[in-house]
Amino acid sequence: MTTLFISDLHLDDKRPETTALLLRFLEREAANAEALYILGDLFEYWLGDDAPSDCSLAVAKGLRALGQKGVACYFQHGNRDFLLRQNYADLAGMTLLPEEYLADLYGERVLLMHGDSLCTDDVEYQQFRSQVRDPAWQKEFLAQSAEQRLEAARMARDASALHKGDVAMAIMDVNAAEVLRRFERHGVQRLIHGHTHRPAVHELTANGQAAQRIVLGDWFTHGSVLRVTPDGYDLAVI
């Protein structure tokens, strides 16, 4: 029995090699898994379920085929694809998860998150996050034409790149106190998240006991997967 976790693929029609890598992963390794969890930023941006890209349609086909083999697929929104809705989830055969989700992994309750809400030192980003997660803002954005939404997404991506260039790396990482608060809020000893693109297994103390924070890697230069079995956790490059 194996449960797989991936995040931060940032799929885009301009990077077909990454989409091809994911599809091979779905056909080969994931097809033999018990479940696949995608913890956000599957796509570089998401304009709305009514404006799918070529790569998103190919991925939906691959994920649906995975589900037809009996592999459950779960999706958690990231900071790039937070507008993904039920229509696309149904097309791909995915189950949408809340922002903070407790998964039962072989008898252990594990907290799953995308991870961007943990980066509280980046005040400017958190303000932007609050704005775009507001239902009124989303309704207004989705009412625009696909072309207008695409231009807005490009501008937001450019602004994000400039912001990253101006802000210290430490500020864009998770805040340690915020991490501990999530452990305590949910009463868990293990957290899995993505977002920071800094794959690692961090040992810490939470709730008065040994705890672990596992950070998934991105898919820019190669694939990254966390394999969970009843025997343990293995963060690997693919």
Q: Is the distance from CB of 238 to CB of 20 less than 8 angstroms?
A: no
What's residue 157's pLDDT?
A: 77
Please report, for the chain, the start and end positions of each structural domain, with discontinuous segments joined by +: 3-117+173-237
What's residue 72's pLDDT?
A: 98
Q: What is the pLDDT of residues 28-57, one digit of tens each?
A: 999 999 999 999 999 999 999 999 999 999
What's residue 111's pLDDT?
A: 98
What's residue 167's pLDDT?
A: 56
Inter-helix orientation angle 135-142/146-166, to 10°: 130
Residue 30 DSSP one-character state: G
What's residue 22's pLDDT?
A: 98
What's residue 163's pLDDT?
A: 67
- Give the residues of the chain that fall short of pLDDT 70: 162-172
Q: Is the distance from CB of 71 to CB of 36 less than 8 angstroms?
A: yes
Question: How many CB atoms are closer than 10 A to CB 205?
Answer: 11
In angstroms, how far apart are the furthest CA atoms of the chain?
52
Q: The domain 3-117+173-237 belongs to what CATH superfamily?
A: Metallo-dependent phosphatases (3.60.21.10)
Distant-in-sequence, close-in-space partners of 206: CB < 8 Å, separation ≥ 6 = 180, 183, 184, 188, 189
What's residue 142's pLDDT?
A: 94
Strand order in the sheet with 108-112: 101-105, 108-112, 190-193, 209-215, 200-206
pTM for this model (two decimals): 0.94
Distance CA 114, CA 32 (A): 24
